[in-house]
Structure 1
Amino acid sequence: MVHLKRLLCCFVMFCLLLEPIGIFSQPLIFNNTALAQEVVSSVDESKTNPGTAPPEEPVQTDTEEEIADGTSSEKTPEAEPANLEEEAPVKGEFALAAAYDGSITLSKGESYKFTNIHTNATYIKSNATSTNTYDYAIYLPDGSGYDYDTDSKSTSRSVRAGGHMVVTVTSSNPVTFTFTTSQVISEASTTPALVKKEVSSGESFSFVNTGEVNNSIKVEGVTKEFSYQTYKEDGTLSTEAYDYASSTVTIPAGGKIIATVTADDPVTFAGYYDCNDEEPVSDALLFVTLEAGESYLFENLDDTATHVIKTNASNSSSAKKTYDSAIYKADGSAHAQDADATVTSKTIPAGGKMVVTATSAIPVTFKAFTSYFSGKRNDHPALIKKTLKKEETIQLFNTATESTTVLVNGSSSRRYSYQLLKSDGSTYQQSYDSGNTSLHPCWWQADRNYNQ
């Protein structure tokens, strides 16, 4: 009995201890709801008064009072958090405005410079299209060229930290450029983005590379055909090519290019304005077109090496272009000859000469670099040529100290008789009804027997 009374007393005391915290009278959801309300209230206050400490005794809302009285156990509505989201700015709105808050609109021929003062690369944007175009040149911080283009339609170009970009509008329509003013210094440019040179057929030009690295020249045109030589800084030859057709050509660091347009249509050459200087130049190429019967003399100025002369001769049945040629060594002795030739190149001995005469109805053009050759019109033809009819005779004397070849267009239908004599008058060789295409006489006489 005593034990039963002690247990009952312990139970009563346990219940009295639990009563003050309301474990039997208030639902658990009350604590969650009150917590949610406190969070909302805290966000509101931090939004309206940033940096202000909350009051020691926060004001209790009507909803909180009802819950405290036990008259309501519903959750606080989420209206206030929803209002916070509506008032927040759209993501990226201010960033976009800040990124391109500067702009400039340029008309044809106007130039502008954009310098990146930011620590990272920045973009220059534009409204370029196929009818709104511009030239541009982008430079690295050290002033060397990084990228360039002519008549660009690009709407965005990247400029590295410390670098700059120069633009020049080339279209009749204006172009607008946008940029970030906190990252870019913009100013009108007194020089264009590129150095550009339009060269007509037969004309020459020269660009000097003022930079410390090789740089390329862009070539634009219908056929883009030109002959050129590039030189290193020390003046020695780097590369050369006749009738070159490509979209670019490279100039060595500190070197230069000399070129002559060989296409029928004009060709435009363009490169970095800050890395290329145009210099006056006489014709880089002897560019000679001869009509039938006209002759020209080329002399190799180099007494140590052979050099090549190019021509547009052709064996095409629809556009045949032919010429006679006589090539001499430096001592004046005969080196080689050709009649009605269609080959497109001839090699001239060191210090030697070549005389050419056009023989076709269609004119023939010859090209030789002025660094190797001098040239002039010649009153005398390349070859002595004589056409014989049946039973006609000709005598030819070799005035050289060595045997000289005579070319003949003999064939099975074009036959002749000949006799070769030595310098003492004795017979060296003779033949009847020959169709040979060459003879090597000291003295020569021919009688044509057939005319077929």
Structure 2
Amino acid sequence: MICKKVMVWFLTALLATNTLLCLPSVAGAEKQDVKDGMQLDQADLVQKEQEITNETVSFDPPTSVTNSVYNAIMMSLAATVEYTSIVIEPGETYEFENTDTISKSIYSNASQSKGILYDSVSYKEDGDISTVHMDYGISPIGVPGGGTAFITNTGTAALTVKVTDVFTYSTSEDPALERVTVSKNESYRIVNEGWTARSIQHDGSNADNRRFDYAKYKADGTLSASDLNSIAHPSLGDGEELIITGSTANAVTFGFPYGKYSIESTGEPAYARVTLNQGESYQFINVGTRLDTVESDGTSKDKLDYVVYLANGTETSRGSGTTAKPQIAVDRYAVITQVTANPVTYGAPYRNFIARPVGGDAISRVELEVGKSYIFHNNGTLMNPIYNNSKKVGSLFDYAIYKPDGTVNSSGFNSQSGPMIPPSGYAIVTVIGPSPIIFDYTDDFSWETSSHPAFLRVTLSKGESYAFTNISDHLRNLHSIAKTVKGKFDVVLYKADDTEQSRRNTGNSTFLVGAGKKASVTVTSDTPITFGGIYRSFKASEDDNGIGQTTLEPGDSYEFRNHDSQSNSLRHDKSSGNAHFDAASYKVLRLLTSDHFNNTVDPEIVAGGKAIVTNVSDRPITFTYSNKVEALLSGQAAFHRITLKRGESRKFINVSTLDKALDVISVSGMKWNYMNYKADGTVYSQASDTTQLPLVQAGGYAIVTTVSDVPVTYGAVLGIFDVEDAQVPTGNQVTVKQGESYVFHGSQASSLTTDASNESRRGSQEAPIVTNAKAAGGTYQYTVTDQAGKVIREHKEATDNQQQVPANANIHLAVAAVAPAVKNFGAPYRVFAVKNNDDSKLNELIELIDKEADFTAGQQGKYRFTPKEDGIYRFAVKEKSNFAAQQPIVSLFTDPDFSNQLVSSTEQAQIYGWDYTVLEYEMKAGKTVYVKLTETNSGALQTVIKAAHMALGKDTSYEYGKGN
């Protein structure tokens, strides 16, 4: 049904489109010029237009087709899309999932000028990053089909977002962006663990004196880009590493998609830098792999002298009183002297250069053995590095650097860098090998052996599990060598209360573990993987709650038993593509909790329960699950799967204590008949030539017959249903009590009746209705009509034992009040369909008369209406109050059992106002229809319903009845 609740004016869409086309793009190229103070007036304009949607728009229904057409044209300027509003308070985060297959937008009242700002990250269906925004004040946000978006309110006022029903949403513990505020001389290391290249987000600005140094390295460790005192937005690709260091008094805040990048504080700066006063000198040694330049923040008025030397001390180039910066090849060095009076800061990428005063301090060296751990103390007043020859000898080491108060400053796993140690801080270093490493340090340092390593390390083989619990007060990285050895492992993250937070299979080298939370890792590849976490931040133990996995071959059935005290899910491997399976989950005593037929929904098993899963695809499916779930090969499938061709029948018996519907694999053109019986054998429901499935009552049964040329596969939960060959009765027999009526229809469906041109099939010839009226000494009334409702013959006091009914005709039977209490009537089962025609208990709608239609949640309105004239009739429902909460549906049926629907208001455009629901249908005089009034979500209704004839006026427009 086209929703009437929210109207967004077409003008808004035009303005919003124009705004989006005019928005400035954010360049991702390195060293991009960024212009400060840009005003985003377009965004505010879009916001003002969108606020129109919060106003109430009301109007009366038209009283003529002319007015109707006019209003319809006016309303074509409105987008009738229903939105749900969610208020996100400052600091709150919401997760939104787009269940549609195409990109959809999330709208908001974000505004730069009003301080209504947010961070957001949109992800594609495969988990890759689509868009990233930080402190954003523009609407809307695009979310790819099947993707998700995280939105965090970073402003000072509430953020209101609006979404359509294609989005599901919930609050999130995790923010959209992991924010890092970098102060002067503070450094962070960021690694892209497998995501598409994205420009980093930050609030750096020349106008606000917020700048930083950065150095970007490729996966092989070579420098790819760098900048001194920058406000650029460098992009960071898969496997690339970024070092950022604050360079100004005002800190810079960075934002990264939460949990997607490895982010850690580091003692390693982006640049080796020094500020030189007039006459001071410094040496820069290129220890990298490429030619590079020493940079500075000097102006055209600041002069320097420089000399570049070969490694053996031979001069190769020089500059005197110049503003040019020296280019230094690998293994060469330059000496720079500041000539002019203004102090100038010089710098070069830290990993590629060693910077030290000319003449240098006394250098000490120590060789550290493989497997040994040492502590280096910085006894000075400045942050200083400890250099080493790890790259030269091809060896690795772990380190953890601590501040004077014992808190972690930075760390490195399998590192080859030169750790920077803060003043009065210390570093614990463990040599991993394969060779000893020589460390250089100045007189400000001292060292000693350590009683514990820098990192807690565990090497696991395939199928082995270990649990790492973060015992610190901060988010910490857990490292692995998976990417290096091309291994894979499952990781399950648990909250502090030991409930599962997330699960995935990955090959990343780092992932984050929250304070007080636990990570359980299980190796799934043939290659062993070493994991490591900072020794003082983690405790580790063999895990009895790791990840198990079972592969179901085509046709296999497995029983999964959950021995846990909480629910657990089975996750199927997405690499199996569109592989389908049947699943039925039970709690104790085999009480069904959920089931999925021919589906791809991951089964959920309640505490102490079990699930039976059957692979019904043509390829293997691998399920992963908690080690507290036991997997056993099962001889019982999850479902009965019965494929019936045209004319074939089966009996589905509900042996449980729950009412349960059958399932079916949907295919184009499928049709079936069914007779649905209660436990006492009486008919509960029936349908012919339908695609509706019967809800089989507890203890009852349904007989289903395929009537389409297309075979149909039915599903019934095994254990809830038994299936037997259908014993189709040879006749229909009903007992008609005093005052009751029945109609016997000569059916046209499949094996019941056929077209007259096919003489060989049953039901295409005249057939009898039989009765015991004469033996009982009573009379009955009957009327035989053709398909159009024309009377063929009738009798008010018949006593005959049978009445002949032509092919495709109907006979209406009734027992008069003066007759004996009971009469029996019978008809061939496959030739006739039987319907109770007693509608005396239904409310009657009278043309042009209002009827109050107030119902509590779950109730329905059921009426009968008999038109007095041929023509089009309108059924209108007006909502008396609470317009936003109720959505009425009006439907017409041919029978008082409401089993054969003619039309529904959901099939017609609703253009008469948001508090009206209208259904129009052409009817025959005297032919009763049955009207059902329901609420879309089975909610309460406060309404009035009315019916009226639409007379054809002189101008060929319809004139509606007075008062309608």
Alignment partner of 1:195 is 2:451: no
Change (3 A) 1:336 1:251: closer
Alignment partner of 1:275 is 2:537: yes
Cα distance in structure 1, aligned partners of 2:578 and 2:635: 24
Shift of 1:177: 0.8
CA deviation map 1:408-434 (0-9, x unaligned)? 225444444432222122233344454
1:439 maps to which residue? Answer: 694
1:320 maps to which residue? Answer: 578
Cα distance in structure 1, aligned partners of 2:408 and 2:679: 71
Cα distance in structure 2, aligned partners of 1:144 and 1:377: 51
1:164 maps to which residue? Answer: 426
Quick one: which of 618, 623, 648 aligns to 1:366? 623
* 1:401 aligned counterpart, secondary structure: coil
Change (3 A) 1:162 1:376: farther
Instruction: Tell me, yes or no, if the aligned pair for 1:230 and 1:251 is still in contact at 8 Å.
Output: no
CA deviation map 1:182-232 (0-9, x unaligned)? 433324456443222344554321124454655332345247663313353
CA deviation map 1:102-148 (0-9, x unaligned)? 21234654543323344554431112338443222222344443211
Instruction: Tell me, yes or no, if the aligned pair for 1:312 and 1:321 is still in contact at 8 Å.
Output: no
Q: Which amino acid aligns with 2:546?
A: A
Alignment partner of 1:96 is 2:366: no
Relative contact order higher in (CA < 8 Å, ≥ 6 apart): 1
2:650 maps to which residue? Answer: 394
Instruction: Tell me, yes or no, if the aligned pair for 1:289 and 1:366 is still in contact at 8 Å.
Output: yes
Cα distance in structure 2, aligned partners of 1:403 and 1:123: 73
Quick one: which of 397, 406, 413 aligns to 2:662? 406
- Which range is displaced more, 109-118 or 259-268? 259-268
Instruction: Tell me, yes or no, if the aligned pair for 1:112 and 1:167 is still in contact at 8 Å.
Output: yes
Quick one: which of 467, 472, 484 aligns to 1:206? 467
Cα distance in structure 2, aligned partners of 1:238 and 1:380: 31
CA deviation map 1:284-311 (0-9, x unaligned)? 23433222232333455677x7554422
Change (3 A) 1:169 1:290: same
Cα distance in structure 1, aligned partners of 2:416 and 2:529: 21
1:153 maps to which residue? Answer: 416
1:333 maps to which residue? Answer: 591
Instruction: Tell me, yes or no, if the aligned pair for 2:558 and 2:613 is still in contact at 8 Å.
Output: yes
Shift of 1:348: 4.3
Cα distance in structure 1, aligned partners of 2:387 and 2:604: 54
Shift of 1:358: 1.6
* 1:386 aligned counterpart, secondary structure: strand
CA deviation map 1:82-118 (0-9, x unaligned)? xxxxxxxxx99896242x2x21234654543323344
Alignment partner of 1:230 is 2:494: yes
Change (3 A) 1:93 1:149: closer
Instruction: Tell me, yes or no, if the aligned pair for 2:675 and 2:683 is still in contact at 8 Å.
Output: yes
Change (3 A) 1:295 1:202: farther
CA deviation map 1:238-261 (0-9, x unaligned)? 7621116563212425x5432335
Instruction: Tell me, yes or no, if the aligned pair for 1:144 and 1:275 is still in contact at 8 Å.
Output: no
Cα distance in structure 2, aligned partners of 1:408 and 1:341: 11
**Aligned pair count?**
347
1:127 maps to which residue? Answer: 389
Shift of 1:269: 2.6
For structure 2, the 5+ residue unaligned runs are 1-336, 338-355, 712-964
Cα distance in structure 1, aligned partners of 2:463 and 2:620: 15
Cα distance in structure 1, aligned partners of 2:658 and 2:615: 28
* 1:96 aligned counterpart, secondary structure: coil
Cα distance in structure 2, aligned partners of 1:195 and 1:226: 19
Quick one: which of 122, 138, 148 aligns to 2:401? 138
* 2:360 aligned counterpart, secondary structure: helix
1:383 maps to which residue? Answer: 639
Instruction: Tell me, yes or no, if the aligned pair for 1:313 and 1:342 is still in contact at 8 Å.
Output: no
Instruction: Tell me, yes or no, if the aligned pair for 1:306 and 1:348 is still in contact at 8 Å.
Output: yes
Cα distance in structure 1, aligned partners of 2:626 and 2:513: 19
* 1:259 aligned counterpart, secondary structure: strand
Change (3 A) 1:214 1:439: same
* 2:611 aligned counterpart, secondary structure: strand
- Which range is displaced more, 276-285 or 387-396? 387-396
2:680 maps to which residue? Answer: 424
CA RMSD of aligned residues (A): 3.6
Q: What does 1:47-126 correspond to in 2, within 5 Å? A: 96-98=360-362, 100=363, 102-106=364-368, 108-118=370-380, 120-126=382-388
Change (3 A) 1:308 1:127: same
1:260 maps to which residue? Answer: 522
Shift of 1:391: 4.5
Q: Which amino acid aligns with 2:464?
A: E
Change (3 A) 1:439 1:410: farther
TM-score (normalised: structure 2): 0.32
Change (3 A) 1:378 1:239: closer
**Quick one: percent identity of the two aligned structures?**
27
Cα distance in structure 2, aligned partners of 1:444 and 1:428: 9
1:53 maps to which residue? Answer: none
Instruction: Tell me, yes or no, if the aligned pair for 1:286 and 1:368 is still in contact at 8 Å.
Output: yes
Shift of 1:321: 1.8
CA deviation map 1:336-395 (0-9, x unaligned)? 32222123x344456554221222232222233356x55544332211223334554432
Cα distance in structure 2, aligned partners of 1:198 and 1:412: 54
Q: Which amino acid aligns with 1:152?
A: S
Cα distance in structure 2, aligned partners of 1:297 and 1:227: 24
Cα distance in structure 1, aligned partners of 2:632 and 2:491: 20
Instruction: Tell me, yes or no, if the aligned pair for 2:489 and 2:522 is still in contact at 8 Å.
Output: no
Quick one: which of 165, 173, 176 aligns to 2:438? 176
* 1:129 aligned counterpart, secondary structure: helix
Instruction: Tell me, yes or no, if the aligned pair for 2:472 and 2:515 is still in contact at 8 Å.
Output: no
Shift of 1:325: 0.8
- Which range is displaced more, 124-133 or 261-270? 261-270
1:79 maps to which residue? Answer: none
Shift of 1:326: 1.0
Quick one: which of 606, 614, 618 aligns to 1:357? 614
1:68 maps to which residue? Answer: none
* 2:386 aligned counterpart, secondary structure: strand
1:311 maps to which residue? Answer: 572
For structure 1, the 5+ residue unaligned runs are 1-90
Shift of 1:150: 1.8
Cα distance in structure 2, aligned partners of 1:193 and 1:358: 47
Q: Determine which structure has the larger strand proportion and give its number.
A: 2
2:854 maps to which residue? Answer: none
Cα distance in structure 1, aligned partners of 2:469 and 2:567: 27
Instruction: Tell me, yes or no, if the aligned pair for 1:243 and 1:262 is still in contact at 8 Å.
Output: no
Q: Which amino acid aligns with 1:440?
A: L
Question: Is the radius of gyration larger for structure 1 or structure 2?
Answer: 1
